[in-house]
Amino acid sequence: MYSAAAAEIAAEIGLAKGKANLEVFASTMEEMAASDRNVVAVVSDSRGSGKLAPFGKAYPDQLVEVGIAEQNLVGVSAGLASAGKKVFAVSPSCFLTARSLEQIKNDVAYSDNPVTLVGISSGVSYGALGTTHHSLHDFAALRAINNLIVVCPADNYEAEQSVRAAAALEKPVFIRFGKAPLYSLGKESEQAFEFGKARLIREGNDLAFIATGEAVIHALLAAEKLKRDEGLEARVLSVHSLKPFDSEAVLSAARECKAIVTVEEHMVNGGLGEACAATILEAGISACAFRRVGIPDEYTVTGSQADIFRHYGISMEGLAETAKALLSKAQ
Amino acid sequence: MNYTDGQLELKSLKLRRSVIKWIKHAGAGHTGGSLSCIDILNVLYNRILKVSPATFSSPDRDRYVQSKGHAVEALFVVLADAGFFDESDLETLCAYQSHYVGHPTRKVNGVEQNTGGLGHGLPICVGTALAGKMDKKDYRVFTLLGDGELAEGSNWEAAMSAAHYKLDNLTAVIDCNTLQIAGRTAEVMNSEPLVEKWEAFGWSVRRIDGHDYAALTEALQAPLEKGKPSMVIANTVKGKGVDFMEDVGKWHHGVPNDEEYERAMASFETQIGIKEGALS
């Protein structure tokens, strides 16, 4: 996932290696189920890919299998939630957010059934399995649905916090997890986790990387590289909540920095970048240079998640280059 | 209150009259399918369901989810009759800022789930029935499907899972009026043989006359078989109760003109008068 140079910088700044967010999700589910028999996981032959096999063994009465039937997965989850269960509907994000989109819209969001929809192996986590297994549309599709919180955690801390917050909230929530092991982004204790509040990962006023999910670490490494190579100080924000959206954090970045680069494991249409652009334009800020980095609207290149990230510039080197070019144009 | 079959017949006449009245008032609605399922809803709400305005928030209540959401006018007049809200609220049916939308929403007292897209009710009810089994509760869960709706694949996903989990606390009713918006269900997308299909999916199935109160009561009053979900295929007539609407496809969402409206209302008045006379 990381070049040798990126791994070196990660070591230099003391980033701790963590687990895959999916594993954190599964262990958090086990902890919650131990003290709350209403915590239920609903799976569509996805207990293995969701790392929920141990959960199913430990709490067989709290795991509902519906087979390979994603529409039923979401409908059943809505019915369980309406009867007081704290439901986590777990399925690969590619299927969950496309095949069952109408159930998400009607049975969960519109009917206000407090299901937590868990999109696993999201974005291009499935890499070389190809576009059928990629979810590069889920932010766009779900941002357009009323009464749904849309979350994309960047590290283990955000993953655990978002799962616990979703269980406590009793509102429809979508959370998206990848399966690659992630660095911990640190500063857990300094900022309370809250849906709708971006997490400041790094301070800086020359430019800002506004990123989400598994792309955030690459933005942080790019910020460190820009400091070493160019003496630039880049702010890094982890926008774990696509909805509700932290407009204030984005506007502060737009007012205080010369350029903004948004970074996401999602098609550039309808995702984080467009949310930032709309926020900034509607506030009347035009002095800040702006560039979206994500997956372009084209036939997605074949390769692993790391290959695809690198190909489209979601890497320390790629993001540093994009930032430099944008800043040079802005000045 | 325990209604006799005759009293339920009278109630159905009045409910059908209300359906026509409010559809005419709103200038929109799903007339044919609302009229075909009135007797089913009448029996459910007046003989079967353990739910009332006072118990609607109880976790132990029976649940009814109307999967064929377009027949919302039938649901609204039945809920109003059962005291969930004042029928005069329907003055605002489909009007600007009204909660009384053209499909069921939970903003209306008595409505369990927002429906309207087809193929949604059964999966939701599987989940609610499953929760009842998990919590060892005695409540029952009911849903009403249209026969045209059965082309939606999600129904069959749910059918499989209901049998897999042996949900005998779940009863589905098909309002089998044999017509859908584009024509005869048999010609648009044939769903027969229904009995054999549902039996093959592991359900206990009964096919009855959906306008026969005794048959409806008998089929709905208890699960058909222990360890299996129940399917009641109710043979009905689309547009039932208004002679010129009966079994005529265009009344799927037809709104009567003034002359048709007067004719239908006059017919109801006559029938109601006769029935009231017979019952007094």
pLDDT digits (tens, 9 = 90+) for A10-44: 999 999 999 999 999 999 999 999 999 999 999 99
Please give the residue of chain A at the shortest CA–CA distance from B158: A72
Determine the Cα–Cα distance for residues A237 and A234; give it in Å rounded to an integer: 10
A111 touches chain B (CB under 8 A): yes
DSSP string, B127-158: HHHHHHHHTT----EEEEEETGGGGSHHHHHH
Residue B174 has φ and ψ, to the nearest 5°, of: -100, 120
CB contact under 8 A, B123 and A76: yes
CB contact under 8 A, A85 and B117: no
**Helix (H), strand (E) at residue B35:** helix B31-43
Contact B45, B76 (CB under 8 A): no
What ipTM, to 2 d.p.? 0.96
Q: What proportion of chain B, given as a percentage, has pLDDT over 70?
A: 100
CB contact under 8 A, B158 and A72: yes
Contact B102, B55 (CB under 8 A): no
Determine the Cα–Cα distance for residues B106 and B229; give it in Å rounded to an integer: 26
Q: Which among A75, A80, A106 has CB closest to B131?
A: A80
- Residue B7, number of CB atoms within 10 A of its CB: 15
CB contact under 8 A, A74 and B134: no
Tell me the pLDDT of chain B averaged across its residues. Answer: 97
Q: Which among B128, B157, B164 has CB closest to A83?
A: B128
Residues of A in contact with B132 (CB under 8 A): 83
Radius of gyration of chain B (CA): 18
DSSP string, A226-268: HHHHH---EEEEE--EEES--HHHHHHHHHH-SEEEEEEEEES
Interface of B with A (CB under 8 A): 59, 105-106, 112-117, 119-120, 122-132, 134-135, 153-154, 157-158, 160-161, 164
Contact B115, A106 (CB under 8 A): yes
Contacts of A69 (CB under 8 A, 6+ apart): A44, B157, B160, B161
In terms of phi and psi (left: phi > 0; alpha: psi -120 to 50; beta: otherwise), the region of B147 is alpha
Q: Which among B114, B128, B154 has CB closest to A72?
A: B154
**pLDDT, position A192:** 84
B-facing residues of A in 22-61 (CB < 8 A) are 40, 61
Determine the Cα–Cα distance for residues B230 and B62; give it in Å rounded to an integer: 15
The sheet that has A207-211: what strands, in order across it? Answer: A199-202, A234-238, A207-211, A259-267, A289-295
**pLDDT tens readout for residues B238-273:** 999 999 999 999 999 999 999 999 999 999 999 999
CA atoms within 13 A on the CB side of B87: 16
Residues of A in contact with B155 (CB under 8 A): none
CA distance, residue B122 to nearest chain A CA (Å): 8
Please give the residue of chain B at the shortest CA–CA distance from A111: B114
**Helix (H), strand (E) at residue A39:** strand A39-43
Determine the Cα–Cα distance for residues B110 and B95; give it in Å rounded to an integer: 20
Tell me how many degrees the CA angle A210-A213-A216 measures, rounded to the nearest 5.
Answer: 50
Determine the Cα–Cα distance for residues B81 and A58; give it in Å rounded to an integer: 48
Contact A238, A188 (CB under 8 A): no
Q: Which among B116, B127, B132 has CB closest to A77?
A: B127
Residue A86, Cβ density class (10 Å: 0-12 exposed, 13-18 middle, ≥19 buried): buried
A82 touches chain B (CB under 8 A): yes
pLDDT at position A240 over 70: yes
Residues of A in contact with B124 (CB under 8 A): 75-76, 78-79, 82, 107
Please give the interface size between A and B, counted as residue pairs whose CB atoms are below 8 Å apart: 98
**pLDDT, position A187:** 65
Please report the beta strands in chain B, taking only residues with DSSP state E, as ranges in sequence order: 63-66, 141-146, 170-176, 179-180, 183-184, 204-209, 230-235
Q: How many angstroms separate the first and last alpha carbons of chain B?
A: 17
- Residue B75, number of CB atoms within 10 A of its CB: 26
**pLDDT, position A72:** 98
CA distance, residue A146 to nearest chain B CA (Å): 14
Distances (CA, A) of A26 to A45, A49, A121, A154, A277: 15, 11, 13, 16, 35
Residues of A in contact with B117 (CB under 8 A): 102, 106
Which amino acid belongs to residue A277? A
Residues of A in contact with B129 (CB under 8 A): 79
Determine the Cα–Cα distance for residues A153 and A195; give it in Å rounded to an integer: 11
Residues of B in contact with A103 (CB under 8 A): 120, 123, 154
Residue given tokens 């490494």 in the structure block: A221
CB contact under 8 A, A107 and B124: yes
- Band (A330; pLDDT cuts 50, 70, 90): confident
Tell me the pLDDT of chain A averaged across its residues. Answer: 96
A102 touches chain B (CB under 8 A): yes
CB contact under 8 A, A83 and B127: yes
CA distance, residue B80 to nearest chain A CA (Å): 21
Q: What proportion of chain A, given as a percentage, has pLDDT over 70?
A: 98
Choose from B57, B65, B66, B128 for mutation: most chain A CBs within 10 A: B128
**pLDDT tens readout for residues A130-160:** 999 999 999 999 999 999 999 999 999 999 9
Distances (CA, A) of A173 to A49, A124, A145, A192, B277: 20, 21, 11, 19, 57
Task: Look at residues B1, B42, B5 and name the one whose alpha carbon lies nearest to residue B214.
Answer: B5
Contact A56, A63 (CB under 8 A): yes
- Band (A189; pLDDT cuts 50, 70, 90): low
Stretch B37-44: mean pLDDT? 98
Determine the Cα–Cα distance for residues B269 and B116; give it in Å rounded to an integer: 32
**pLDDT tens readout for residues B128-169:** 999 999 999 999 999 999 999 999 999 999 999 999 999 999
Q: What is the dihedral of CA B246, B248, B253, B257, to 10 degrees?
A: -80
Q: Residue B255, Cα to own-chain centre: how many angstroms?
A: 20
**pLDDT tens readout for residues A48-91:** 888 999 999 999 999 999 999 999 999 999 999 999 999 999 99
Choose from A64, A74, A76, A107 for mutation: most chain B CBs within 10 A: A76
**pLDDT tens readout for residues B186-231:** 999 999 999 999 999 999 999 999 999 999 999 999 999 999 999 9
Determine the Cα–Cα distance for residues B239 and B231; give it in Å rounded to an integer: 23
Please give the residue of chain A at the shortest CA–CA distance from B107: A111
